[in-house]
Amino acid sequence: MTTIPTTGVTFVHAAQLLAAHLADHELPKPASLQVAARAGQSQVRAQVYPLTVPRVAAQLLAWADTLTTVTVQVWRPPSGTSVHLSIASTLTDPAGTVELDVYGAAAHDPVLFATLTPGQRRDVPLGQLCIWAARATDTPGGGAAA
């Protein structure tokens, strides 16, 4: 995963950057939001609702479309029963930069993730999210692929 250096801002400012981003863009309603500022670094995390792989990918693409630089990662937790898709980026204004992580989980699909072993993380190209999101329209019921 590519790490983008950040300059820490206060907790309040990090929360304001996130709030402004949400207000400026029509994004899927997050399931949860976290804001942290410590030791010179600030981070915001948004979790999208867990659904099928295609629907999580579509939600992450909606976020990615509002950001300049995005790193995409897939992770299969040690239990092996789910996969986590995530994007990493930053939110920036003149006062500083905040790390942004947006993620969601879905049931493991052995067809889509045949080579992803339990516990493994892998960077994937942004285009892969597009491929997974497109499956939502290719499958009956809007993406039961996961």
Q: How far is CA 39 from CA 2, 17, 20, 89, 98, in A?
A: 20, 18, 24, 19, 13
Report yes or no: 1 and 25 within 8 Å, Cβ to Cβ: no
Average pLDDT by stretches of 10, the chain with 146 residues:
55 92 93 89 93 94 96 96 97 91 95 93 96 71 35
Specify the pLDDT at position 8. Answer: 64
Specify the pLDDT at position 62. Answer: 96
